[in-house]
Homo-oligomer: A and B are copies of this chain.
């Protein structure tokens, strides 16, 4: 149920109140900073407190601060007061129950996304909330866990001298969003494999376990659908280019990501269609099989019950039953029963 619904942490508190999520309190905080620009190599630092990072180096063309541990209210408050972030945005970062959304605060864009990961071990989708703040010269990302999909981007920054390091903060934001969206395809690929496997099973040997798997696939797809439609809204809003923070030249890249989200939605809907079709087929084949079973029963019963009636008839102990005395009575009866059996058998 966690996956489908989490009560916002702020329920029952004044709006803008930052409530640390206690169940997560044990997780350590980790801050990572990348600074890079046209004329300089990328610099990479780790820090334990916000004070070590702020204010950002104004020399750097782009600063990327990644915060692992978006659950710590105090850290968020510090960052918020340094960069003048609206309390409601901070509350949304802290609250991991948010649906994907984008809000334009003029000085900065605030973006919430769901990062999906495929948990190979349990064969299911995992979800983590990523918040992203895009300022004129900086990007801040907030994650719940350390595990993420940004390693290729870190590598590209470290290598330097590519399109990513030549462009501004907006392109970095795009690259991060693109990495998240791309990972949806990995998830879809795994689900697709499950569906394919299920389809084979459905034809060869459906049983109660098949039903269970169909049910789980349905749930995963409901969940995916819930993540992916608002994602499309968010990226669609970015792509329409309403914020001056995204330069004209970056918009074509956003359009590309937008096309990807459409493709993801298409695939999710197709998968849903397929899985619900499979349930129908499953039900039909259960009915079919029951029909077969019933037929066997009916044939056996229809053949033998009348025959047994006759054997019962001549097993009676009446004093006067003339047939019993006939010399060939038994053989006549055997013949009669045999013929009956034969015709019944032929009939079915």
Q: Report whether B312 and A308 are in contact in the complex, using a CB–CB cutoff of 8 Å.
A: yes
* Chain A binding surface SS class: helix
Q: Report whether B305 and A301 are in contact in the complex, using a CB–CB cutoff of 8 Å.
A: yes
The stretch of A43-51, A76-84, A118-126, A186-194 that contacts the partner chain: A186-194
Q: Report whether A192 and B253 are in contact in the complex, using a CB–CB cutoff of 8 Å.
A: no
Interface string of A290-311 (1 = CB under 8 A from B): 1101111110111011111101
Q: Report whether A316 and B318 are in contact in the complex, using a CB–CB cutoff of 8 Å.
A: no
Interface string of A200-233 (1 = CB under 8 A from B): 0001000010011001001100110010001000
A280 at the interface (CB under 8 A from B): yes
Give A103 to B253 CA distance when docked, in angstroms. 12
Q: Report whether B315 and A277 are in contact in the complex, using a CB–CB cutoff of 8 Å.
A: no
Give A282 to B284 CA distance when docked, in angstroms. 8
Copies in the complex: 5
User: 7 tightest A-B contacts by CB?
Assistant: A311-B312, A314-B316, A318-B330, A297-B298, A1-B196, A315-B315, A304-B305
Question: Interface of A with B (CB < 8 Å)?
Answer: 1, 4-5, 7-8, 10-16, 86, 88, 97-99, 101, 103, 152, 156, 162-164, 175, 178, 182-183, 185-186, 188-189, 192-193, 195-196, 203, 208, 211-212, 215, 218-219, 222-223, 226, 230, 252-253, 255-256, 259-260, 262-263, 266-267, 270-271, 273-274, 277, 279-291, 293-298, 300-302, 304-309, 311-321, 323-330, 333
* Sample of 4 more A-B contacts, CB < 8 Å, known A211-B285, A305-B308: A4-B271, A223-B270, A307-B309, A316-B317
